[in-house]
Amino acid sequence: MINKLIFFYFAAVILISAILMITRRNPIHSVLFMLLLFFHIAGLFVLLNAEFLAAVQLIVYAGAILILYLFVVMLLNVDKESAAVRANRFWPWMIAFGILIAGEIVLLVLRGTFPANAGQLPMRLGSGVGALGKELYTKYLLPFEIASIVLLVGLVGAVMLAKIKTKE
């Protein structure tokens, strides 16, 4: 019962802050709502026994990616043009389209059956950081190395793009 109450709290805050995030006029407010959303998603991860990923979510998403966004928003000084039109002219169609997609997914999920609740099947592996690291460095070693190459490409690409001189 208490688990369900905690889930409802997290789900409500996630959905409300997501809606506020895509409707705010000032991008800085959007970034701050995104921060609230990431904290509550990390709480949801703790509820699902993924403590390490909750920490990664807070450190990488909230601490690195979102701060990068905030830096660039402040660097480009976009809030001075906040009187411009927020959405393009198709937005009512897009909202109807979104409701259609969501309704379709919810219908499919409700018609399908899941044989057990989450966490009821017997535990095969230990959870926690140790088991995750063992799995990551043995079975998923090649994808791990590819992920490091992706990060290297991102690093070099960002530096190269930032170095280009633009003509005035």
Minimum distance from residue 7 beta carbon to another protein (Å): 5
* Residue 5 C-beta: closest distance to another protein, Å: 10
The binding track of 127-146 with respect to another protein, each residue x by CB under 8 A or -, is x---xx--xx---x--x---
Long-range interactions of 86-92: CB distance < 8 A, separation 24+: 86/23, 86/25
Q: Is 74 in the site for another protein (CB under 8 A)?
A: no
- Kindly state whether residue 7 participates in binding another protein, applying the rule CB under 8 A: yes
Q: What are 75-81's contacts with CB under 8 Å, separation 24+?
A: 78/27, 79/26, 79/27, 79/28
Minimum distance, C-beta of residue 94 to another protein, in the bound complex (Å): 4
Helices 66-76 and 27-47, packing angle to 10 deg: 180
Under rule CB under 8 A, residue 35 binds another protein? no
